[in-house]
Amino acid sequence: MDDSGSAEELSATELQHQLNEALQQLSPEQLQALADFAAYLADAEGEATVQELLAIPGLLERVKRLQATPTSD
């Protein structure tokens, strides 16, 4: 794998190509570890978003109040 440029300098297509080449060299156990790590990263990003939302003063209370309010269908 070529490390001559930073991730910021590489296009998404180039990064995908590099990842695909690296994936071909991994064992099933390594692929599982990588899949677990990718899931962790996705979850961590989602968790950070949740924490940002929860930091908004009064947001949770407003959501709960709206959920308790009956809607007219």
User: Is residue 4 scored above 80 in pLDDT?
Assistant: no
Quick check: 56 and 48 in contact, CB under 8 A?
no
User: Is residue 2 scored above 90 in pLDDT?
Assistant: no
Phi, psi angles (nearest 5°) of residue 38: -65, -40
Q: What does the pLDDT read at residue 20?
A: 92
Give the pLDDT band (50/70/90) at residue 71.
low
Rounded distance, CA 50 to CA 46, Å?
A: 6
pLDDT for 17-44, tens place per residue?
A: 998 999 999 999 999 999 999 888 888 8
pLDDT for 40-61, tens place per residue?
A: 888 888 888 888 888 989 888 8
Coil/strand/helix, residue 10: coil
Q: Which two tokens stand for residue 5?
A: 């440029």
